[in-house]
Structure formats: structure tokens, C-alpha cells
């Protein structure tokens, strides 16, 4: 593991998030020091209480001690409450800000980053790892401040009781440090395994819930249960290793401290050291009490390892690239002229290009259809226009200007994108139609968009109309209804450029007819790019581009391509005869 995410550097990495709330940190540290001081003071009172109070029968001193002890206990409780509250408040602030920062970063992440990283693992980073980092850091701070101060206080108390006996502590300290380092090294490996296990569990659960229908229809319940059993079992073993490793520190430290105590008793029993009852009691009590800070100080390495493992994943995510947005041109409303000029693009996971030196031009207001077999490059063209991916070679021009010169926001404001896999958000129908532009449109604008999208007929039949909750990803709506909601969303924004990526391929005939009508309403006076497998839906397009192996192999209107008896004609004939 790099030094960047190890030991106390974890706290250094967090300092920019802690600094704005440093007052709470200062109060917490002061309260922790006060708490440690009261504990050490209570033990130090044992010597005068025994030697001067009980042995000399000084009852006035005993009464004074009783009042002082009550005051110290009250102060101890108040300082403990204050430190706990301040650290909880501070960690809550830090974790909230950190989560927001991670979420904001993911929102700006490029599509290819999300393509390569499982959703379950990213969710684990946002939820579990942020919580782990916050808890580990706060726990480490408590141990470092309170327990070190307490240990120092107890050492002072022991030397105050009898400096010769206190020297025994010197033998214990190096052994404790060695054990702490050894256990921390073992602990980190177990933590990494557990962190990966949590991501696997989240991913498996996410896939099971999203693919539940497929699991049922393919009778794959047993397969999924066995798969999850294996993942869960591996996680349990990782968790057990953590408990095993972390549990080693307590008995080992206790054994070492007990040996030290035994050695002290041996010295006293053999009258090697002359000592009063009060001195012996205070040294003995301090030696027993020091076992706690010594034990806790070994665990600080474990807490910092937890934080460093979480820190590595969190800052690794924050250091991942975001979408490149270096454009300076603010596009108000595009005319809609699109040109691909010698464009080549290869997906990171592939070796052969999906588009190979492709060039074509679309006039403003023109409807162009893209057809070809699966994997030919049609969807890649659609994804490059709004810059979901950036071209490898060549350039894409919008109204004569490279799309990289436009700001991402203004570029995407020009494009209405409707895909086969429409994603709707958990909320009402109205919320989904105005998604991303709440309070910008009036209720009548939403209704008009639904009318043009042929969605009003089913919306009005719902009990709550536009205020109907549609569930996660619109689960309560049919495929055709979801597509029409998506089209209404695009209609509302009145985008000058439209991209339809197989928007009707998964619909039944009736739904396809309604969605196709909605698409035709949407296409008026707009530049449209349509990707379709059903060639009957694109016969009226101004031009059709036949894509094969990332190249344009045929081009022209429907009637012309049918007469040429090429690839398009064969595709059309196959669908017509089927």
C-alpha cells in the first residue's frame, strides 16, 4: 500500500474536510484531554487517601477528598459527553460532505468509466466506505488523544508513587509497539478482502433484483442462490479473519501487562523495594489501568488501517477522470446541421474500431435513418453526438463547429435522446416529464407534451393522473407507456436535434403505432437520426445510411436502396417475407 493512504496520512487526507469545522475538533480534543486528566487524577488520589487520610485517621481530609472525587466524576462525565457529541457532529458533517462530493463526481463521470465499474461496487463506496472512513478516523482520534494523554498521566502517577516500580513499564512499551505493527499488517489484508466482499454482495443483490423476471423464466433460482451463498460465505470468512486478528491484541497485551504486575509483586514480596501502602496501591492501580490505553493504542493501528483502506477507494474514485468539458461556445439553439468527418472510435474494451473513418452530413431538418446488423456501429454514432464518448480520430461538427468547442450543457440542451431502454425515475409521471427542469414549465406545458406524445390517453385513466407514482424505473407502466413518457420529456424541451436509438424495437404493434405517431409529431422541423431494426418505421426517412463494420456501405432514400438490390434490399425483403 502506498504511503499516500497509510497510517496518519489518512487523517491528513481528510483534513480539508475537517478544517471548516475545526472549532468542534478543538473542543473535542480539549474534552478528551480533560477526560484523561480526570481519570489519572482519580488514581493519583489513592496515595494521599490511604497514607494521609486512612492511616493517619484524618477525617477532615477524607471529607475533602469525597467532595473532590464527586467533582472529578462529574467533570469526567461532562467531558466525555462533550467529546462524544462534538466528534459525532464533526464526523456527521464530514461524511455528509464527503458523500456529496463522491456523488457529484460520479454524476460528472464519463460513460466509459461507469461501463467498466459495477454499480454494486460504486454504491458500496458511497455508502459503506464513507461511513467506515468517518468512524475509523473519529475512533483513531479518540484513541490517539485520550489514550495517549491517559497513558502519560498514568506514567506520571506511577513515578509519583514509586519511580523504581514505574521503570518496569519501560520493558512493556517496545513489546506493545512490535505487536501493534504485526497485527496491523495482518489486519489490512483482511480488510481489503472484506471490502471486496461487500461490493460483491451489493452487486449480486442488485443484479438479482433487476433481473428477477429472467431468473424466474429461466428457473435460475437455484443457480442464483448458490452463487450468492458462495459470495456470502467468502465475506463471512473475511469478517471472521478481521475479528480473529483484531481480537489477538487484547489477550496478548493483557498477558504482557500481567507479567509486569507479577514482577512488581515479586519485588515487593521480597522486600527489594521499600514502599508504603499508599504508594504500592497507586502504582499497582496505575499499572492495571494502563492496560486499557496500551490495548487501545495497539488498536489505533487497526482503526487507521480501516480508514486507509476506505481512503484508498474513496480518493481513488475522486481522482478518476470526469467528462472533458473545455468548450467555451454557448449554443442557444442549433440549426441542426450535423457532419461526421473521418470519424474513428474504438471502445476501450475492444481492439477493433466500432467506427472506421466514417463521414456523412445531415442537413437541418432532415430525417436520416441508420440501419445495419447488431454491432455495426449505429448506436456508437448516436452516442457520439451528445458526447457520451469522444471521438478517437476525426471530428463531429454541429452547424460547422466542432462539438468539443461547445460547452457540454449547451450541446446537450440541443439534443432530445430516446433509447430502447428508457430510464424513468422513482416519482410521478409529471416529475419524469419535467425531469431536470422542475419549476421551469407550467402544468399546461406538461399536458401539451403528453398529448403530442400520445401519452394523455393512458395518463387520464390513472387514478391520480399526472401525479401517479410509477415506481422504480417506471415498473408500474408498460413498455409503450414508458416510451411515450420519454418522448413527452423530449417534446417538452423542444430540442432541435432528435436521436431515436431503436425506440420502438421492443414494443407490440399497438404500442409501436402510438409511439411511432408520437415520433412523427416530434420530428416536425427538427433534425432527426433514427436507428431502427424494423425497416417499416423508417421508410419515410429522407435518407437511409446502411452501416456495416463501422463504415457506410449504402446511402439513399428507401425506394432507391430497394431497387439497388444490395444489403438494404435483402434486409427489407427478409422482413417483408417474414
Q: Within a 13 Å sphere around the CA of 146, how many CA atoms are in the beta-carbon half?
A: 25
Per CATH, is 3-318 categorized as 3.40.50.1860? no
Grid cell 475537517 in the structure block, residue: 18
- Could you tell me the three cell numbers for 326? 473545455
pLDDT of residue 74: 92
Print pLDDT tens along the chain (578 aa).
Answer: 444 445 556 667 777 878 888 898 899 889 988 988 898 888 888 777 777 666 667 777 777 878 888 898 899 899 989 988 988 888 888 888 888 888 888 888 888 888 788 777 788 788 878 877 777 767 777 777 887 888 788 778 877 777 766 676 666 666 666 766 666 666 666 666 676 777 778 777 777 766 665 676 566 778 788 888 888 888 887 777 777 766 666 677 667 667 766 776 676 666 666 666 767 777 777 777 777 776 676 666 666 667 777 777 788 888 888 888 888 999 899 999 999 999 999 988 788 899 999 999 999 999 999 998 888 889 899 999 999 889 989 999 999 999 999 998 899 889 888 887 778 888 898 988 888 877 788 889 989 888 888 888 889 888 889 998 888 777 788 878 888 888 888 888 888 999 988 766 656 666 667 767 777 777 778 899 988 877 877 888 899 999 998 899 999 999 999 888 888 888 888 876 65
Closest CA to 334 of 312, 365, 311, 307: 365
Cβ neighbour number for residue 212 with a 10 Å cutoff:
12
Note the pLDDT of residue 338. 94
Sign of CA dihedral 105, 111, 117, 123: positive
Q: Which residue has the cell 458462495?
A: 230
Q: Where in the chain is the domain with CATH 3.40.50.300?
A: 338-577
The domain 338-577 belongs to what CATH superfamily?
P-loop containing nucleotide triphosphate hydrolases (3.40.50.300)
Q: Strand pairing partners for 508?
A: none
Residue-by-residue DSSP string for 39-86: HHHHHHTHHHIIIIIITTT-HHHHHHHHHHHHHHHHHHHHHHHHHHHH
Look at the block and give the residue holding cell 461538427. 397
The upper half-sphere exposure of residue 272, i.e. CA atoms within 13 Å in the direction of its Cβ, equals: 11
Query: In the chain, what is the straight-line distance between the N-terminal and C-terminal CA atoms, in Å?
Result: 61
Look at residues 36, 73, 13 and name the one whose alpha carbon lies nearest to residue 297: 36
The torsion angle over the Cα atoms of residues 77, 83, 88 and 89, rounded to 10 degrees, is: 120
Per DSSP, the residues of 341-407 read: EEEEE--TT-SS-SEEEEEEEE-TT-EEEEE-STTSSHHHHHHHTTTSS--SEEEEEETTEEGGGB-
Are 528 and 368 in contact by the 8 Å Cβ rule? The answer is yes
- 175: closest CA among 276, 109, 249, 244? 249
Please tell me the predicted confidence (pLDDT) of residue 335.
92
Amino acid at each position: 500500500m502506498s504511503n499516500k493512504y497509510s497510517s496518519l496520512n489518512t487523517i491528513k487526507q481528510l483534513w480539508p474536510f475537517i478544517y471548516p469545522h475545526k472549532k468542534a475538533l478543538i473542543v473535542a480534543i480539549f474534552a478528551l484531554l480533560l477526560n484523561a486528566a480526570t481519570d489519572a487524577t482519580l488514581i493519583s488520589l489513592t496515595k494521599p487517601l490511604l497514607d494521609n487520610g486512612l492511616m493517619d485517621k484524618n477525617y477532615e481530609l477524607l471529607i475533602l477528598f469525597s467532595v473532590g472525587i464527586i467533582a472529578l466524576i462529574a467533570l469526567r462525565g461532562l467531558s466525555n459527553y462533550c467529546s462524544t457529541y462534538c466528534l459525532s457532529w464533526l464526523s456527521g458533517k464530514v461524511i455528509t460532505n464527503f458523500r456529496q462530493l463522491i456523488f457529484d463526481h460520479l454524476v460528472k463521470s464519463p460513460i466509459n468509466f461507469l461501463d467498466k465499474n459495477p454499480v454494486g461496487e460504486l454504491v458500496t463506496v458511497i455508502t459503506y466506505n464513507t461511513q467506515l472512513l468517518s468512524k475509523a478516523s473519529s475512533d483513531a482520534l479518540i484513541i490517539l488523544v485520550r489514550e495517549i494523554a491517559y497513558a502519560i498521566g498514568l506514567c506520571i502517577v506511577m513515578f509519583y508513587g514509586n519511580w523504581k516500580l514505574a521503570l518496569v513499564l519501560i520493558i512493556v512499551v517496545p513489546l506493545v509497539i512490535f505487536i501493534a505493527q504485526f497485527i496491523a499488517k495482518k489486519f489490512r489484508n483482511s480488510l481489503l478482502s472484506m471490502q471486496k466482499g461487500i461490493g460483491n454482495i451489493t452487486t449480486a443483490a442488485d443484479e438479482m433484483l433487476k433481473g428477477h423476471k429472467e431468473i424466474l423464466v429461466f428457473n435460475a433460482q437455484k443457480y442464483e442462490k448458490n452463487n450468492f451463498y458462495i459470495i456470502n460465505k467468502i465475506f463471512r470468512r473475511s469478517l471472521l479473519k478481521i475479528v480473529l486478528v483484531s481480537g489477538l491484541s487484547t489477550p496478548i497485551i493483557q498477558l504482557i501487562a500481567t507479567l509486569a504486575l507479577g514482577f512488581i509483586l515479586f519485588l515487593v514480596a521480597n522486600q527489594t523495594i521499600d514502599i508504603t501502602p499508599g504508594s504500592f496501591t497507586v502504582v499497582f492501580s496505575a499499572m492495571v489501568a494502563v492496560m486499557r490505553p496500551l490495548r487501545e493504542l495497539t488498536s489505533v493501528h487497526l482503526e487507521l488501517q480501516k480508514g486507509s483502506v476506505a481512503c484508498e477507494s474513496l480518493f481513488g474514485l475522486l481522482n478518476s477522470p470526469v467528462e472533458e468539458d473545455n468548450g467555451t461556445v454557448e449554443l442557444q439553439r442549433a440549426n441542426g446541421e450535423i457532419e461526421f468527418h473521418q470519424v474513428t472510435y474504438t471502445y476501450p474494451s475492444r481492439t477493433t474500431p466500432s467506427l472506421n473513418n466514417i463521414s456523412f452530413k445531415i442537413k437541418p431538418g432532415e430525417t436520416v435513418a441508420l440501419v445495419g446488423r447488431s454491432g455495426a456501429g449505429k448506436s456508437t454514432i448516436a452516442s457520439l453526438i451528445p458526447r457520451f464518448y469522444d471521438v478517437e480520430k476525426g471530428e463531429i461538427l454541429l452547424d460547422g463547429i466542432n462539438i468539443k468547442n461547445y460547452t457540454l450543457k449547451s450541446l446537450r440542451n440541443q439534443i432530445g435522446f430516446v433509447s430502447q431502454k428508457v430510464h424513468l425515475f422513482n416519482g410521478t409521471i409529471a416529475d419524469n416529464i419535467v425531469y431536470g427542469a422542475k419549476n421551469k414549465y407550467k402544468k399546461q406545458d406538461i399536458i401539451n407534451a403528453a398529448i403530442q406524445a400520445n401519452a394523455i390517453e393512458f395518463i387520464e385513466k390513472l387514478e391520480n393522473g399526472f401525479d401517479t407514482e410509477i415506481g422504480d424505473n417506471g415498473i408500474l407502466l408498460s413498455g409503450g407507456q414508458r416510451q411515450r413518457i420519454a418522448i413527452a420529456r423530449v417534446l417538452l424541451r423542444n430540442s432541435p436535434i432528435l436521436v431515436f436509438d431503436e425506440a420502438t424495437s421492443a414494443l407490440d404493434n399497438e404500442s409501436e403505432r402510438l409511439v411511432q405517431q408520437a415520433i412523427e409529431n416530434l420530428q416536425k422541423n427538427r433534425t432527426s437520426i433514427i436507428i431502427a431494426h424494423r425497416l417499416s418505421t423508417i421508410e419515410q426517412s429522407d435518407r437511409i445510411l446502411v452501416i456495416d463494420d463501422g463504415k457506410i456501405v449504402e446511402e439513399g432514400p428507401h425506394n432507391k436502396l430497394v431497387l439497388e438490390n444490395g444489403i438494404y434490399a435483402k434486409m427489407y425483403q427478409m422482413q417483408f417475407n417474414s
